[in-house]
Amino acid sequence: MPLLEGLRLALSQIWAHKLKSFFSLIGVIIGITFLIAVITIVEGMNRYVREDFAGAIFGINTFTIVRRPTIRTGRTTEEQRRRYARNPRLTVHDVDVVRRSAPPGVTVTWDSDRGFDQVRYGERERKNIRVIGASEGYATVQGWDVAQGRGLSPLDESRGLKVAVIGPDIAQKLFPTESPLGKEIRVGPYRFRVVGVFEKRGGLLGGIWDAAILLPFSAYDQTLSRDPGKLDEISVKAPTEKAMNDAMAAVEGGLRADRRLRPARDNNFDIQTSSGLLSAWDKINNVLLTVLPGLVSIALVVGGIVIMNIMLVSVSQRTREIGLRKAVGARQSDVLVQFLAESSVLSLMGAGLGVGIGVGLARIVHALTPLPASTPLWSLALAVALGVVVGLVSGVYPASRAARLDPIVALHAE
Amino acid sequence: MDVTRDLIIVTRGLTKDYQMGSETVHALRGVDLEIRRNEYIAVMGPSGSGKSTLMNLIGCLDTPSGGEYVLNGQAVQDLDDDELARIRNREIGFVFQTFNLLPRATSLHNVELPLIYAGVGSSERRERAEEALRTVDLGDRMDHKPNELSGGQRQRVAIARALVNRPSILLADEPTGNLDSATSAEIMAVFEHLHKNSGQTIIMVTHEYDIAANAERVVTLRDGQIESLDADITIPHAVAQ
């Protein structure tokens, strides 16, 4: 029988038993849905991490010196944890060391993060804001743009002015009808004059930055700092990747010399870059992509077994039809093709539904959360291929049973 | 010479044995049968006489345990499954007691079925199926499904299906077994018409004397052997009356 005829027959058979066909496909649908949804979200996360996130945290061609790693890959041993705990906190003195040892042409910024607090203006209040004391240039290195007013200036820093640049979410909450510029907000007992508002960033983590207050480091150090003289990060931005690597080596050497670390000793500080973050994400990514095939295979094996059973039932219900087809001239291969076409088309439909539901789910996740979604073409090709393979494999046994039926016995079956 | 060329079916010492557990059942014990082209034959015999087995062998649904079977000049006793399927497709049109139509398919599609396996293209398939349906007077029922047709109409669809690939033999197994006597007469009229006009050889298995009476010749079987090659069935018929 020509393949086309087989496919036509398969479609009409499946259509004639719509509900049964649908239920027999649930395993395949779940498997493929899961495959597509996970790949779509992982791939979306991937693009997000590569294109936005890494740059957002560290800036481009920027490295950051911290007391201990903030992003850890793999498991931290007890010994490592103790070692990190012994690392001294960064101080304003370290800023001088970094500035001295870094080659010219780089920008050095630093900041201290008070963590979450609340801010008030008159009767209005916004909770869960981040208070950051930062050097001049910090916002630029981080890629934060000012939408209204101005950013922090060298003068703010040198004079210890109590001014603040606030995130757009805070501006919206505290100043719904008026301009925030020139107004005095309160954090704890201290008053700060608003000089600027940042541009809205949005996105997965943008919400945290959109609700942040940036203060000049000197003012912050005298007022809100939990540990005056200490800071959390020193960032160095270079013009190129090569300059960044050179600066990183120079700064590492400078800090080690200043801290009198002998050559055999490990650094008692940590240097982070966006590539470090990317490798952390890659590890998560690899775990997801390693576990995924296992889960999808389980669903597809179950789906295949269900299809095989449905096909076996179908063969036994249609014994007379098979007998008749053989009587009028169907060869074994014709019957085989007919049933294989049916199981393949069935499974392929399941894969198609799975793709649709998977993409739909990913879209819903995308719409409801800041998680991005992106379905790569290869995953669709994979879904189609898996559908056909599951259909063929699960159809082989029922189809060969049908093909081998004795026409005389089949014709007289009840 | 002329006589042999005119023979469509020749069997010589045809036997068929079945294994039933430890026992061997001899369903056919050496059947010699000759049927001429365009003959109209009825095969009769009590149940267990071997007539179904003989029909299965003649219809190439099964292969004999021994003996020879020459169909339309071709020895078919040693053919494999695929070759038998081809012979069934080209040489034999089956008409069954229970019609055996595909319930979800239209008359037209049911009739097209043998042509699908003959590899005929879809437009020619349709043409020939329509022609076959018109032959059995069902030109106006082409798009009806079996459950929209009467018993007689269903059997006529089945006859059209048997005819559509222009086989040399029409093999009918109790074709009126599921029909009332008026409808049976209708089907017998179709057979009579085919016999007169299309030159088909018709072999019909039946246990009804008045149906068998339509044939030119009646072959009777008993205990797996030919009892009579040209039985006179008028006597039991007369007795019944």
User: What angle in degrees, to the nearest 10, is found between the helix axes of A26-48 and A332-368?
Assistant: 40
DSSP B92-158: EEEE-TT----TTS-HHHHHHHHHHHTT--HHHHHHHHHHHHHHTT-TT-TT--GGGS-HHHHHHHH
Task: Compute the distance between CA of residue B30 and CA of residue B64 in angstroms, rounded to an integer.
Answer: 10
Percent of chain B with pLDDT over 70: 95
Nearest CA in chain A to B100: A324
The token duo for A260 is: 């009198």
Q: Which residue has the tokens 């990183």?
A: A248
Q: In angstroms, what separates the C-alpha of B236 from chain A's closest C-alpha?
A: 31
Residue B29 confidence (pLDDT) above 90: yes
Q: Quick one: average pLDDT of A36-40?
A: 87
β-pair type (A124-134, A212-216): parallel
Domain that holds residue B132: 2-240
Q: Domain with B99 in it: what CATH number? A: 3.40.50.300
Residue B4 confidence (pLDDT) above 70: no
Assess A320–B contact: CB distance below 8 Å, yes or no: yes
Residues of B in contact with A16 (CB under 8 A): 104
Q: Which of A325, A330, A407 sits opposite B61 (nearest CB)?
A: A407
Nearest CA in chain A to B167: A328
Give A40's contacts (C-beta < 8 A, 6+ positions apart). A358, A359, A362, A373, A374, A375, A379
**Among A156, A176, A177, CA closest to A165:** A156
Percent of chain A with pLDDT over 90: 39
Q: Is B56's CB within 8 Å of A408's CB?
A: yes
**Among B142, B144, B116, CA closest to B130:** B142
Q: Is B85's CB within 8 Å of A12's CB?
A: no
Residues of A in contact with B113 (CB under 8 A): 324-325, 328
- Do residues B52 and B174 lie in contact, with contact meaning Cβ atoms separated by under 8 Å? no
Higher pLDDT, B87 or B233: B87
Q: Is B118's CB within 8 Å of A329's CB?
A: yes
The token duo for A39 is: 């790949």
Q: In angstroms, what separates the C-alpha of A346 from chain B's closest C-alpha?
A: 19
Predicted pLDDT of residue A362: 84
Half-sphere exposure of A111 (CA within 13 A, CB side): 24
Residues of B in contact with A411 (CB under 8 A): 61, 96, 100
Cα–Cα–Cα angle for B16, B21, B27, rounded to 5 degrees: 20
Q: Quick one: average pLDDT of B58-73?
A: 92
Q: Quick one: average pLDDT of A149-162?
A: 90
Residues of A in contact with B168 (CB under 8 A): none
Cα–Cα–Cα angle for B65, B67, B71, rounded to 5 degrees: 105
Predicted pLDDT of residue A182: 92
β-pair type (B23-36, B201-205): unpaired
Q: Which of B61, B81, B104 sits opposite A16 (nearest CB)?
A: B104
Phi, psi of A224 (to 5 degrees): -90, -15
The token duo for A362 is: 């990913």
Q: Is A329's CB within 8 Å of B82's CB?
A: no
Q: Which of A5, A320, A407 sits opposite B116 (nearest CB)?
A: A5
pLDDT, tens only, A89-142: 999 899 999 999 999 888 899 999 888 888 999 889 888 888 999 998 888 877
pLDDT, tens only, A332-345: 999 999 999 999 99
Predicted TM-score (pTM) of this structure? 0.71
Residues of B in contact with A412 (CB under 8 A): none
Q: Which of B89, B96, B100 sits opposite A329 (nearest CB)?
A: B89
Task: Compute the distance between CA of residue B222 and CA of residue A373 in angstroms, rounded to an integer.
Answer: 79
pLDDT, tens only, A47-66: 777 666 655 655 678 888 99
The token duo for A244 is: 């960044």
| DSSP class of A232 | S
Q: Over the range A15-34, which residues count as b (16 or more CB within 10 Å of their CB) and which as e?
A: eeeeeebeebbbbbbbbbbb
Residue A144 confidence (pLDDT) above 60: yes
Cα–Cα–Cα angle for B215, B76, B2, rounded to 5 degrees: 60
Q: Is A325's CB within 8 Å of B117's CB?
A: yes
**How many domains does chain B divide into?**
1
Q: Quick one: average pLDDT of A381-409?
A: 93
Task: Compute the distance between CA of residue A6 and CA of residue A339 in angstroms, rounded to an integer.
Answer: 8
Give A82's contacts (C-beta < 8 A, 6+ positions apart). none
Predicted pLDDT of residue A52: 66
Burial class (CB in 10 A: 0-12, 13-18, 19+), B80: exposed
The token duo for A31 is: 């498997």
- Helices (H) then strands (E): counts for chain B: 9, 10
Predicted pLDDT of residue A14: 86
CB pairs under 8 A between A and B: 58
Q: In one letter, which amino acid is A90? A: L
Residue A199 confidence (pLDDT) above 80: yes
DSSP A39-60: HHHHHHHHHHIIIIIHHHHH-T
Q: Which of A324, A329, A408 sits opposite B86 (nearest CB)?
A: A329
Residues of A in contact with B165 (CB under 8 A): 329
Q: Is A329's CB within 8 Å of B117's CB?
A: yes
Task: Compute the distance between CA of residue A115 and CA of residue A95 in angstroms, rounded to an integer.
Answer: 21
- Which residues of chain B approach chain A closer than 8 Å at the C-beta? 56, 59, 61-62, 81-82, 85-86, 88-90, 94, 96, 100, 102, 104, 113-114, 116-119, 161, 165
Predicted pLDDT of residue A311: 93
Burial class (CB in 10 A: 0-12, 13-18, 19+), A257: exposed
Assess A4–B contact: CB distance below 8 Å, yes or no: no
Task: Compute the distance between CA of residue B169 and CA of residue B88 in angstroms, rounded to an integer.
Answer: 10
For CA atoms A118, A120, A126, A129, give the dihedral sign: negative
Q: Quick one: average pLDDT of A235-255?
A: 90
Count Cβ atoms below 10 Å from residue A307 Cβ, excluding itself.
27
Task: Compute the distance between CA of residue B59 and CA of residue B43 in angstroms, rounded to an integer.
Answer: 14
Predicted pLDDT of residue B57: 94
Q: Is A331's CB within 8 Å of B59's CB?
A: no
Q: Which residue has the tokens 């088909």?
A: B200
Half-sphere exposure of B15 (CA within 13 A, CB side): 11
Count Cβ atoms below 10 Å from residue A69 Cβ, excluding itself.
15
Q: Quick one: average pLDDT of B214-238?
A: 82
Assess A11–B contact: CB distance below 8 Å, yes or no: no
H-type alpha helices, A127-273: 138-142, 154-159, 168-174, 206-210, 217-222, 241-258
Nearest CA in chain A to B163: A328
Residues of A in contact with B164 (CB under 8 A): none
Residue A85 confidence (pLDDT) above 90: no
Q: Identify from A9, A14, A314, A328 which residue to disrupt to test chain B contact, counting B C-beta atoms within 10 A and taking the largest count.
A: A328
Predicted pLDDT of residue A71: 61
Task: Compute the distance between CA of residue B176 and CA of residue B208 in angstroms, rounded to an integer.
Answer: 9
Lowest mean pLDDT among A291-300, A305-314, B87-96: A291-300
Residues of A in contact with B89 (CB under 8 A): 328-329
**Among B232, B192, B198, CA closest to B214:** B192
The token duo for A315 is: 């063969």
- Report helix, strand and coil shares of chain A as percent, to nearest 5: 60, 15, 25
* C-alpha torsion B182→B188→B193→B194, nearest 10: 140
Residue B218 confidence (pLDDT) above 70: yes
Residues forming beta bridges with residue B203, ordered by sequence position: B41, B171
- Residue B207 — very low, low, confident or very high, per pLDDT cuts 50/70/90? confident
Predicted pLDDT of residue B238: 45
The token duo for A354 is: 């799975």
Task: Compute the distance between CA of residue A204 and CA of residue B62 in angstroms, rounded to an integer.
Answer: 72
Count Cβ atoms below 10 Å from residue B232 Cβ, excluding itself.
9
Predicted pLDDT of residue A386: 92
Half-sphere exposure of B64 (CA within 13 A, CB side): 26
- Residue B1 — very low, low, confident or very high, per pLDDT cuts 50/70/90? very low
Q: Is B85's CB within 8 Å of A320's CB?
A: no
Q: Quick one: average pLDDT of B120-134?
A: 94
Residue A409 confidence (pLDDT) above 60: yes
Q: Is B117's CB within 8 Å of A333's CB?
A: no
Q: What is the ipTM of this complex?
A: 0.92
Q: Which of A321, A328, A411 sits opposite B114 (nearest CB)?
A: A328
For CA atoms A4, A5, A6, A11, give the dihedral sign: positive
Half-sphere exposure of B231 (CA within 13 A, CB side): 22
